[in-house]
Structure 1
Amino acid sequence: MDTIVPRKSRKNKYLLIGLPLFLLAAYVVFSSVTKKRGLDVKKGEITIKTVENAYFEDFIVFQAKVEPLNSMLLNVIEGGSIQEIFVGNGDFVQKGQPLARLYNPNTELGYMTQETSMIEQINNLNKVKLDLRNQELNLAKDLVAIEHDYLDAKSLYELNEKLFKEQILSKNEWEKTQENFRFQKERKNIIQQSIQKEKQANQIQIAQINQSQAIMQKSLSILRNNKKNFLVTAPLAGRLSSFEPVLGKNYVAGESIGKIDVMKGYKLLADVDEFYLEKVSQGQKGEIEYKGEMIPVTVSKVIPEVKNGRFQVELNFMSTEKLDLRQGLSFGVRLMLSEKSKSIVLPKGSFYEDTSGKWIFIVEGDKAVRKEISLGRENPLYYEVLGGLKAGDKAVTSSYKDYKEIEILNFK
Structure 2
Amino acid sequence: MDRELSSTTIKANKRKRIWQISAAIALVVFAILGFRSLITPSISRAEIRTAVVENGPVIATLTATGVVVPENEQVITSPIQARIEQVVRSSGEQVQPGEQILLLDRSFTQLAYDKLKDEQQLNQHKSVQMRLQLQKKLNSLESQLEIKRMNVKSLQARLDDEKYLIKIGGGTQEQVKQAELNLKIAQQELAQLERDIASERALLKADEQELGFTLAMQGRSIEELERKMEQAEIRATSPGVVTWVKNEVGSNINAGDVIARLADLSSFKVKASISDTYAEQLQVGSEASIRVGNTDLKGTIATIEPTVTNGTITFYVALPSEAHKLLRPNLRVDVQVITATKPSTLRVKNGPYFSSATGNQVFILRNDEVVRVPVTLGVSNPDFVELENGVSAGDEVIISSMKEHEHLKKMKLN
- Normalising by structure 1, we get a TM-score of 0.69
Amino acid of the residue matched to residue 78 of structure 2? V
Distance 1:99 1:210 in 2: 44
Task: Report deviation, 1:157.
Answer: 4.2
| 1:13-412 pair list within 5 angstroms | 37-39=40-42, 41-42=44-45, 46-52=48-54, 54-60=56-62, 67-84=69-86, 89-94=93-98, 99-103=101-105, 105=107, 108-109=110-111, 112-113=114-115, 115-117=117-119, 119-121=121-123, 123-124=125-126, 127-158=129-160, 161-162=163-164, 165-166=167-168, 170-171=170-171, 179-180=178-179, 182-196=181-195, 199-200=198-199, 203=202, 206-207=205-206, 210-211=209-210, 213-215=212-214, 217-219=216-218, 221-222=220-221, 225-226=224-225, 228-230=227-229, 231-234=232-235, 236-241=237-242, 242-261=244-263, 266-272=267-273, 274=275, 278=279, 279-286=281-288, 296-303=298-305, 312-317=314-319, 323=322, 325=324, 328=328, 335-341=336-342, 343-352=345-354, 355-356=357-358, 358-385=360-387, 388-400=390-402, 407-411=409-413
Distance 1:352 1:315, change over 3 A: closer
Task: Report deviation, 1:375.
Answer: 3.1
Distance 2:332 2:182 in 1: 101
Aligned residues: 376
| Structure 2 contact 350–384 (Cα < 8 Å) conserved | yes
| Structure 1 contact 60–380 (Cα < 8 Å) conserved | no
Amino acid of the residue matched to residue 209 of structure 2? N
| Structure 2 contact 145–193 (Cα < 8 Å) conserved | no
| Structure 1 contact 153–180 (Cα < 8 Å) conserved | yes
| SS of the residue 2:189 aligns to | helix
Task: Report deviation, 1:348.
Answer: 0.9
Distance 2:164 2:177 in 1: 13
| SS of the residue 1:337 aligns to | strand
Task: Report deviation, 1:368.
Answer: 2.4
Distance 2:245 2:214 in 1: 38
Gapped regions of structure 2 (runs ≥ 5): 1-26
Distance 2:217 2:236 in 1: 22
Amino acid of the residue matched to residue 345 of structure 1? R
| Structure 1 contact 150–181 (Cα < 8 Å) conserved | no
Indicate the RMSD between aligned Cα atoms, in angstroms: 4.7
| Structure 1 contact 39–406 (Cα < 8 Å) conserved | no
| Structure 2 contact 352–401 (Cα < 8 Å) conserved | yes
Task: Report deviation, 1:64.
Answer: 5.8
Task: Report deviation, 1:394.
Answer: 2.8
Deviation larger for 383-392 or 131-140? 383-392
Gapped regions of structure 1 (runs ≥ 5): 1-23
Distance 2:257 2:155 in 1: 81
Distance 1:374 1:403 in 2: 19
Please list the CA deviations of residues 84-119 of structure 1 after superposition, one character each: whole Å capped at 9, or x if unmatched: 45666421124xx76543226456445544553465
| SS of the residue 2:250 aligns to | coil
Distance 1:262 1:194 in 2: 74
| Structure 2 contact 141–193 (Cα < 8 Å) conserved | no
| Structure 2 contact 81–254 (Cα < 8 Å) conserved | yes
Amino acid of the residue matched to residue 367 of structure 2? G
Please list the CA deviations of residues 153-195 of structure 1 after superposition, one character each: whole Å capped at 9, or x if unmatched: 334544664565355xx316x9657744642443233332343
Amino acid of the residue matched to residue 338 of structure 2? L
Distance 1:295 1:349 in 2: 23
Distance 1:275 1:36 in 2: 48
| SS of the residue 2:94 aligns to | coil
| Structure 1 contact 61–332 (Cα < 8 Å) conserved | no
| Structure 1 contact 64–333 (Cα < 8 Å) conserved | yes
Distance 1:161 1:213, change over 3 A: same
| Structure 2 contact 84–105 (Cα < 8 Å) conserved | yes
Distance 2:43 2:112 in 1: 87
Please list the CA deviations of residues 125-156 of structure 1 after superposition, one character each: whole Å capped at 9, or x if unmatched: 65445433433332222112211222233345
Amino acid of the residue matched to residue 91 of structure 1? V
| Structure 1 contact 56–345 (Cα < 8 Å) conserved | yes
| SS of the residue 1:58 aligns to | strand
| Structure 1 contact 357–374 (Cα < 8 Å) conserved | no
